[in-house]
Amino acid sequence: MIKIRFISFILINLLIIIFSVIAWSQNNDLMIETKIDSLSLEKTELDSLKQIEMNTVDSLHITSAENDSLSAEAIIDTAGSVLETLKNQLDEYLKEKRQTHRNLFIPHLIYKENFHLKSPFDPAIQFTKNGFTIIPFEVSNTHILQNYKPFFNTRCVRDNIFFIEDDYDLPVAFSESYLGLGDFDMNHVTATLKKGNILGIKNLHFEGDYIGQDGEWLGTREQSRNYNIHLFCDLNWGKIHFYQTTIDQKINPNVLKDAPEIPEKDEIKEWISDSAILFENRFINIGGLIKTTEIDTMKRKLSEIMLTKSIKNDNNLLTLTYEYFRNTSVDSTFNIFSLNQSSDIYRFHLGNSGYFQNEDNYFLSSELSMKIFKPISLSVKHLTRQETGYRNLEPENRAGAGLIISPSFLRMEFIYGTETFDNSHGYESEDIRFFEMSNIINFNIRSFGINLKRWMLYRDVMNLYLPTWQSKTILEVIYNMPYNNSIKLGLSHFYTSEYQFTCDGTDTIYNMKNLNLDAYLAFQITDRFEIKLDAVNLTNSDHLFAYPSSSELPEFHVNFNVKWIFVN
């Protein structure tokens, strides 16, 4: 049976490769780019500028002495030039923001409904927030990702998640809002406000974020009131940043790292407050952080001093970081040294990410690829990690080699190798063979666009706690219309073959074989407004990724979402 599935998988991917090559050739001939400038100044708008009063001209920083020497036509040209420059800067900011969101792809089985995240196997990933390492406390890594992803630009590099603030400094106010309503009483709102030169103070900039929810998630009533603030001043010698994040919510106890499944316990309280200051300059960045965390009845107070230095040019980047931590709750201190490096030299790409705390806590992920001709590269990857305390279902050592196919509109990566697991869960210490594949495809054919993200992991293992197969597929088909309007149809498919797990505090063994299928229909009205309808659990699964069967778990249901961007 395994051989048949493996052969089927190879045939499917060969078809994808053939289809992709055909689409690539068509794409070069048929792709058209429609870039309609929705904010361009029409001739009538230029005529109306002739009526601008002197106080409006003053707001564009044209002094009265200059006004005396300028003709009315010159004033109009200056005003139009300033507005055009500002519009171009805003368009570029939105383009980069959308591109960052589109490129985010985490190669782990993480299911998403609205902003909620769930995974059957908590991924062993490292987190950095505004340059400061996040030290997990009592909750899963998936839950940490859920807490911070709505607030930040999120990037994933070699099993490292980077939460990064915008340094938004444009003088216009920018707001972005999401509203979600569910037919099983799942309601949430996310709002962002950004403004440069606040209170009329030049080079003082502000960003504020809020997320609130009140509704059902996996059979538990949840409530959240979470905030994030970023205030920074851009000076001649560098920048001064102030960060403040508050997480205040009642949540499902299944997010606890040592109790992934506790179906009968009521909700628990999570409260996090972290404040940080960062002095950023071209020599060395210096930061300090104070963080208090309360999870149910557990509490931790943590303070940190951080030094980091980045060296970069067109083809190389090296970031070295030293962090000193003090845990005042248990009166202990520790240090973390970390690095992130990326280099492109001739035909070679080399990347390394990792940290070292002590001989019992360290992590290193490395990759090396070589182009054999333009769209095809050979790659080698290696990962090693050691962590005390909580152990998850991720390998301690991993090594493999593979192939990368990356023409302009797609990236396909295949890797074959071996893994070694910690034996605390009954794993054999011998190496386990694995095959991993990931696809990211984005291309247009005439008025249609297709976006595909696909990840698959096969392990040659009969261990009861690990499935042989894991896969997720996210497909979006877009029909593009004039003036940045479009209709989007999306499908997401998550699958694991059979495996077993137990709930803490019970002897019950659950046999799981997950298949979850969702779909959505979205209407984009210009590039600033979108209405979306989600159809969740189309197959009427009675469980969702390791959550035990429960009458409280929603079967097929519908969510309604609205997104809008406003610039003033």
Torsion of CA 544, 546, 548, 552, to 10 degrees: -30
Report angle CA 298, 300, 303 to the nearest 5 degrees: 170
Best CA proximity match to 107, nearest among 407, 431, 471: 471
Q: Give 227-250 pLDDT, tens digit per residue.
A: 999 999 999 889 999 999 999 999
Comparing 188 with 508, the larger pLDDT belongs to 188
Residue 132 contacts residue 302 (beta carbons within 8 Å) = no
The alpha helices in 41-179, defined as continuous H runs, are 43-49, 54-59, 64-69, 72-103, 141-148
Neighbours of 264 (CB within 10 A): 11
Report angle CA 88, 86, 179 to the nearest 5 degrees: 80
51 pLDDT above the threshold of 50 = no
Mean pLDDT of 147-162: 94
58 pLDDT above the threshold of 80 = no
Q: What is the DSSP letter of 96?
A: H
176 pLDDT above the threshold of 80 = yes
Q: Give 7-22 pLDDT, tens digit per residue.
A: 444 444 444 444 443 3
Comparing 154 with 200, the larger pLDDT belongs to 154
The residue type of 465 is Y
Pick the CATH number of 2-30+104-567 from 2.40.170.20, 3.40.50.1950, 2.160.10.10, 1.20.1440.230: 2.40.170.20
Percent of the chain with pLDDT over 70: 79
pLDDT at position 529: 95
When mean pLDDT is compared across 254-258, 344-348, 357-361, 479-483, the lowest value belongs to 254-258
Q: Give 360-380 pLDDT, tens digit per residue.
A: 899 999 999 999 988 999 999
> Residue 480 — very low, low, confident or very high, per pLDDT cuts 50/70/90?
very high
Q: Give 287-332 pLDDT, tens digit per residue.
A: 999 999 999 889 999 999 999 999 998 899 999 999 999 999 888 9
Tally the residues of the chain. 568
- DSSP per residue over 34-80, as a string? ----TT---HHHHHHHTT--HHHHHHTT--HHHHHHS-HHHHHHHHH
Q: How far apart are CA 305 and CA 514, in angstroms?
A: 44
When mean pLDDT is compared across 7-11, 212-216, 294-298, 477-481, the lowest value belongs to 7-11
Q: 37-74: b or e for each residue (b if 16 or more CB lie within 10 Å)?
A: eeeeeeeeeeeebeeeeeeebeeeebeeeeeeeeeeee
pLDDT at position 16: 43
Q: Give 510-540 pLDDT, tens digit per residue.
A: 777 888 899 999 999 998 999 999 999 898 8
